[in-house]
């Protein structure tokens, strides 16, 4: 049950962070834009923490086996996609964190405490990290779409219970 809760909570937070990131980058500078940036950072830090918990949960238990009816190539594709999603769920918030620091701004989580400043302002690195953060985000978006499409395929076409085992209450 912990895995299911973490899965859906992280999914919702990632969707919210993506939506907020998309909206805020096109806004003119304003108090609202600055607030959205703060919320976006808070979402990223929360995702990072929850993914850490999810990894601990995943490493301490075993994931349910794939159905025997699932072809070997699909099992391998699922394992690879999950591994890449975990990597990106760590890399996207970290790249945003380091981009913020390179831009010379602290990350103050929930307005309560400042996260460690691991690098100082670095204008040359700032551009690279901004591009990296955006690129990794769009790669993650593509993988999330693939993940959702695969879940829907398993539900509507294969009808093998893969999706149902990740639904709340199952």
H or E, element range at 108: strand 108-109
Indicate the number of domains in the chain: 1
pLDDT of res. 170? 62
pLDDT digits (tens, 9 = 90+) for 24-39: 999 999 999 999 999 9
Q: What average pLDDT is seen over the chain?
A: 95
pLDDT at 59: 85
Q: Which residues contact 48 (CB under 8 A, 6 or more apart)?
A: 89, 90, 93, 94, 97
3: pLDDT confidence band, cut at 50, 70 and 90? Answer: confident
CA distances from 6 to 147, 156, 163, 170 (A): 16, 24, 15, 14
- Domain that residue 15 falls in: 2-166
| Span 93-121, pLDDT tens digits | 999 999 999 999 999 999 999 999 999 99
CATH code of the domain in which 88 resides: 1.20.950
**Element housing 109 (H / E):** strand 108-109
């Amino acid at each position: 049950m912990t895995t299911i809760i973490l899965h859906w909570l992280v999914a919702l937070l990632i969707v919210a962070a993506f939506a907020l990131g998309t909206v805020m980058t096109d806004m003119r500078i304003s108090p609202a834009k600055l607030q959205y940036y703060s919320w976006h950072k808070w979402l990223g830090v929360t995702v990072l923490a929850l993914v850490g918990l999810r990894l601990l949960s995943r490493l301490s238990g075993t994931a349910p086996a794939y159905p025997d009816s699932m072809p070997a190539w699909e099992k391998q594709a699922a394992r690879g996609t999950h591994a890449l999603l975990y990597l990106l769920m760590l890399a996207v918030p970290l790249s945003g964190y380091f981009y913020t620091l390179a831009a010379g701004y602290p990350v103050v989580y929930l307005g309560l405490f400042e996260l460690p400043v691991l690098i100082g302002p670095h204008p040359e690195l700032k551009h690279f990290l901004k591009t990296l953060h955006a690129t990794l985000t769009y790669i993650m978006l593509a993988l999330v779409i693939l993940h959702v499409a695969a879940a829907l395929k398993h539900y509507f076409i294969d009808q093998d219970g893969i999706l149902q085992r990740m639904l709340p209450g199952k």
